[in-house]
Amino acid sequence: MNRLEIRLSGFGGQGIIRSGEIVGRAAALYDGRYATFTQSYGPESRGGACAAQVMIADDPVELSYPHLVDPSVLIIMSQGAYNKYVPGFRPDGLLVVDEDLVELDEAAESLRVTGIPATRLAEELGRRIVANVVMLGFVAAIADIVSPEAMKKAVLDSVPKGTEELNTRAFETGYEYGRQQGPIGDLPLQTTSKRSA
């Protein structure tokens, strides 16, 4: 058995932590898998660095160690997060960036990289705050992390009452952008032997 490790990172106020919760909820509640979730913040609650780590597996034994070891997917929504996490990221992993907020450099040259202007698309919907949901829709379309149906249900479970319509449009905007780009192929999994090394 293997597990999939995902790190989402950006700055406080972008909904990064909520996005990690949504991915874990989609896996555990709607796709019938097992998931763990951890989070970290910089010293500032808003504007400071933050990250969410999600581990997903088909067997709970694979989640006996609940912390990220070697993520296969890195979702980056700020330049600071890119600078912190991309150097040393596994070359067979998937790097997903907000194209308008992240400038790539030589650290990304050998990586599998894809992106979406999530913040700009959210602004076009009238609310920058839903950029994280645009990003989740995009990821649901391009990568086999959780099913798109599970991700959408988890989004709608997690957003404030009265914002369901806006968040549905945000998710569908990102999802359609991803569908036009097409799937990225198989993701590398974390193996038990690597964790115990």
What pLDDT score does 62 carry?
86
What is the architecture, at CATH level 2, of domain 2-181? 3-Layer(aba) Sandwich (3.40)
Contact 57, 28 (CB under 8 A): no
Residue 148: CB partners within 8 Å, gap ≥ 6? 140, 141, 175
What pLDDT score does 2 carry?
79
What's the Cα-to-Cα distance from 160 to each of 5, 16, 155, 171, rounded to whole Å? 27, 16, 10, 15
Q: Which residues of the chain have pLDDT under 50?
A: 1, 192-197
What pLDDT score does 1 carry?
43
Q: Is 187 buried (19+), middle (13-18) or exposed (0-12) by CB count in 10 A?
A: middle
- Find where tokens 């957003």 sit: 159
pTM here is: 0.91
What does the domain layout of the chain look like in residue ranges? 2-181
